[in-house]
Amino acid sequence: MGLRVYLSGEIHTDWRERITEGAQGLDISFDSPVTDHAASDDCGVAILGAEPDKFWHDRKGAMVNAIRTRKGIEEADVVVVRFGEQYKQWNAAFDAGYAAALGKSIVTLHPPEHDHALKEVDAAALAMARTPEQVVAILRYVLTGTLPG
């Protein structure tokens, strides 16, 4: 058994690196959204032409990014959704809902102060982790049956 894991959500800290490095040696292929914030915001107009209206500027970018995001989620066995300490992060919650409707195994990753606001998202998840290392431990256990320590 191998796993495909999609890492959704917050792009300002090194949580993806901590997971992918921690998981070295396991039979996992990881996918993520484009995490270059500027590129992600501007991809639509950079490729397809400028928009004077910011709404359509954003729309063009979000649609191009959706090509990658949807494929990533649809092919994943496990979707890890990270909520950081700042910003609205509605796209992360949207991804979680999208994954839930497809019956994906969801692991959330967030600090305790978000617990109440994320209760509906957590209720659709099979695990709620506080650290990237816990996510790695889950993936290792799922693939190998071995526990930490």
| Interface with a second copy (CB under 8 A), residue from 17, 71, 85, 111 | 71
Judged by CB under 8 A, the residue of 10, 69, 109, 132 near a second copy is 69
Closest Cα to residue 6, out of 16, 87, 50, 54? 16
Using the rule CB under 8 A, is 70 a contact of a second copy? yes
**Interaction residues for a second copy, span 74-103 (CB under 8 A):** 77-78, 83, 87-103
Which is nearer to a second copy, 21 or 59 (by Cβ)? Answer: 59
The residue count for binding a second copy (CB under 8 A) is 84
CA 48 to chain centre: 26
Pairs from 128-137 (Cβ < 8 Å, separation ≥ 24): 132/15, 132/18, 132/19, 132/22, 133/18, 133/22, 134/109, 135/19, 135/80, 135/107, 135/109, 136/18, 136/19, 136/22, 136/23
- What does the per-residue mask of binding to a second copy show for 108-137, with x meaning CB under 8 A? ------xxxxxxxxxxx-xxxxx---x--x
Residue whose structure tokens are 């709404």: 55
Check binding of 25 to a second copy (CB under 8 A): no
Min CB(120)–a second copy separation in Å: 4
Q: Does 18 bind a second copy (CB under 8 A)?
A: no
Would you count residue 67 as binding a second copy (CB under 8 A)?
A: yes
Distance of CA 25 to the CA centre of its chain: 21
Q: 145 and 120 in contact (C-beta within 8 Å)?
A: no
Q: Supply the minimum distance, in Å, between the C-beta of residue 136 and a second copy.
A: 9
| 65 lies in the binding site for a second copy (CB under 8 A) | yes
Asked if 92 and 73 count as a contact pair (C-beta separation under 8 A), the reply is: no
